Amino acid sequence: MPVFSYSAPTVGKSEKLLEIEDGYKYLGTMRRYFSKNSRGSPIYDVNVYMYDAAGGDKYVIEQLDFGMVRGYTWGVYKNDAEIGKIRTPRGLFKNHRIDVRVNDYPGISIKAKTRGKHLILDENENKIGETSTTNSINKVYQGEISALVLPEPDILFYGVIHTFWCGMKRN
């Protein structure tokens, strides 16, 4: 299983630019940003910008809607063209989860567990990986995913993982 790992600030509300590497291979950069029209606490405003160093592509995961009962919805864009959506389940008492549907990308979900590592699932709800974090000054978000689903984690995958972690109410 390919592993993934990156360091991010302890405070999820940071807009710090993150350099993303997979081993010794430089993948690009990623940063969270806040929309100018966000209402209420910025903790619920989750947007992620990514730059793919290999292809020169720009990706954006932009929050389109948020509601405690209706859930979150994000648009996923590549070079300003919409290529997919990320959604959370509807319902006030649902565990944190994102469902990712992006063109030319396997459908995956990331589901929070109350203890241990959070699950990465395929479209049939089979476990294909997991993700966790450290609790140090500089958090490290890490995990693994099946090579059959994603042979190598790319910059968009890192953006999806970051969206999951920043979307959790405690980050």
SS3 string, 3-26, reads EEEEEEECCCCCCCCEEEEECCEE
CA distance linking residue 42 with residue 40, whole number of Å? 6
Q: Give me the pLDDT at residue 171, please.
A: 42
The model carries a pTM of 0.90
Q: Give me the pLDDT at residue 49, please.
A: 97
Q: Give me the pLDDT at residue 41, please.
A: 57
Spatial strand order of the sheet with 97-102 comes to 3-9, 138-145, 127-133, 118-122, 108-111, 97-102, 81-87, 71-78, 58-67, 47-52, 25-33, 18-22
Q: Which amino acid is at 147?
A: A
Of the candidates 64, 60, 88, 87, the one whose C-alpha atom is nearest the C-alpha of residue 76 is: 60
Give the SS3 label for residue 91: coil
Contact 43, 169 (CB under 8 A): yes
Give the N- to C-terminal CA distance of the chain in Å, as an integer: 27
pLDDT means per 10 residues in the chain (171 residues)? 83 80 91 73 80 95 84 94 93 81 93 90 96 82 92 92 82 42
DSSP 40: S
CA distance linking residue 136 with residue 148, whole number of Å? 32
CA distance linking residue 22 with residue 3, whole number of Å? 9
- Tell me phi and psi for residue 27, to 5 degrees: -95, -35
**Tokens 């565990």 sit at which residue?**
95
